[in-house]
Amino acid sequence: MLLTGRLLDEADDLLEILKNVDRQHRRSWGLP
């Protein structure tokens, strides 16, 4: 269970990073 919890935390961190990158890219492309 500890391992899966850690993996979920990692996935959450990755999702946050992806969201931030997505936001930055959209801003640089002039998209909403």
Query: Residue 17's pLDDT is what?
Result: 95
CA distance 18 to 10: 12
For 19, 23, 26, the CA distances from 30, given in Å and listed in that order, are 16, 10, 6
Query: Residue 2's pLDDT is what?
Result: 78
Query: Residue 3's pLDDT is what?
Result: 84
Burial 1-32, CB ≥16 within 10 A → b, else e: eeeeeeeeeeeeeeeeeeeeeeeeeeeeeeee
Query: Residue 1's pLDDT is what?
Result: 63
For the stretch 1-32, pLDDT in tens is: 678 899 999 999 999 999 999 898 888 888 66
What does the block give as tokens for 25?
A: 């890219």
